[in-house]
Amino acid sequence: MDLRESGENYLEAILVLQQKTGVVHSIDVANYLNVTKPSVSRAMGILKDADYIWVEKGGQLHLTEAGKKIAESIYERHRLLTEYLVHLGVDEQTAASDACRIEHVISEQSFQKIKEHAGGKK
């Protein structure tokens, strides 16, 4: 199943929050993405149905292997593109905002070439 940009953003948010705090609930995702709790609830239902997340009885969110793979890929793109744009002279806030949009539409081939040019591994 192909995810839309918003689904990728939710998966990325769960990954980042798990890395920061270890425990993630819907309210954490809502606060992180600055969206409403009902929006998060709807998105979590869709991601759960697609087998990208699972929800513990107490409401804790977890990525499945498939969800984690997508989240890690998007987050890698976000970090590398942000760093690359900052290196080119873009201010950090603009770079992060632009990277957030670019990370969802850039082809794998273009991303790999940028990664190679930026000194990353193949």
Tally of domains within the chain: 2
> Whole-structure pTM over 0.95, yes or no?
no
In a domain, 122, yes or no: no
Q: Average pLDDT for residues 19-29, to the nearest whole number?
A: 96
Kindly state whether residues 111 and 61 are assigned to the same domain: no
On the 0-12 / 13-18 / 19+ scale of CB atoms within 10 A, 57 is exposed
Q: Average pLDDT for residues 43-71, to the nearest whole number?
A: 96
Q: What is the pLDDT of residue 118?
A: 83
Please say if the pLDDT value at position 1 is more than 50.
no
Q: Which domain holds residue 82?
A: 73-117
Q: What is the pLDDT of residue 120?
A: 54
- Give dist(CA 60, CA 23) in Å, integer: 7
Looking at residue 82, which CATH number applies to its domain? 1.10.60.10
Digit-coded pLDDT (tens) for 68-107:
999 999 999 999 999 999 999 999 999 999 999 999 899 9
Kindly state whether residues 18 and 58 are assigned to the same domain: yes
Kindly state whether residues 93 and 40 are assigned to the same domain: no
Kindly state whether residues 79 and 99 are assigned to the same domain: yes
Looking at residue 12, which CATH number applies to its domain? 1.10.10.10
Kindly state whether residues 61 and 20 are assigned to the same domain: yes
Kindly state whether residues 83 and 50 are assigned to the same domain: no
Please say if the pLDDT value at position 3 is more than 80.
no
Q: What is the pLDDT of residue 4?
A: 85
